[in-house]
Amino acid sequence: MALDKILAISGKPGLYKLVTQTRGGFVAESLIDQRKITVGIQQNVSILSEIAIYTLTEEVPLREVLEKIKTKENGAPTSISHKDGKDKLEEYFFEVLPDYDEDRVYASDIKKVVQWYNMLQKNDLLQLEDTRTSDEEE
């Protein structure tokens, strides 16, 4: 999965695909409605490849968590909704990542991961390989 081009922008719903860089920031395209927006460098932006989930022993990259969800769901959308209750979300996440740190991973984090997975799955972006590993193999 090439998550280094997928962004979460604070204050904006959903995920965005990096289109191009500009002098004062960059242009991103929404995965929800394909609208392009200009994002300034002062905005809080997270690149999905840089996000990790706390476990009791280490931090697991989001890419690995998404792969585990994809394996569990056989590439289909999740069996739960990000709008489900806290207990149901935590139970689902425990099946995916049994040793996640319940003290540092909140229900809101699980909700985001489930929502992001479904958005990436809907836009057929889960088939992409991690660019760093494919470059190293060549």
What's the pLDDT at 135? 42
Q: Which of helix, strand or coil describes residue 51?
A: coil
Compute φ and ψ for 63, nearest 5 degrees.
Answer: -55, -45
pLDDT in tens, 75-126: 899 999 999 999 999 999 999 999 999 999 999 999 999 999 999 999 998 8
What's the pLDDT at 2? 80
CATH level 3 topology of 50-122: Arc Repressor Mutant, subunit A (1.10.10)
Q: How confident is the model at residue 132 (pLDDT cuts 50, 70, 90)?
A: very low
With a cut of 80, say whether residue 130 has pLDDT above it.
no
* Sequence ranges of the domains in the chain: 3-48, 50-122
Look up residue 17 and give its amino acid.
K
Identify whether the C-beta of residue 72 lies closer than 8 Å to the C-beta of residue 60: no
pLDDT in tens, 13-59: 999 999 999 998 999 999 999 999 999 988 999 999 999 999 999 99
What's the pLDDT at 133? 45
> Looking at the domain covering 3-48, what would its CATH class be?
mainly beta
Q: How confident is the model at residue 134 (pLDDT cuts 50, 70, 90)?
A: very low
With a cut of 50, say whether residue 131 has pLDDT above it.
no
The kind and range of the H/E element at 135 are helix 131-137
Q: How confident is the model at residue 138 (pLDDT cuts 50, 70, 90)?
A: very low
What's the pLDDT at 129? 56
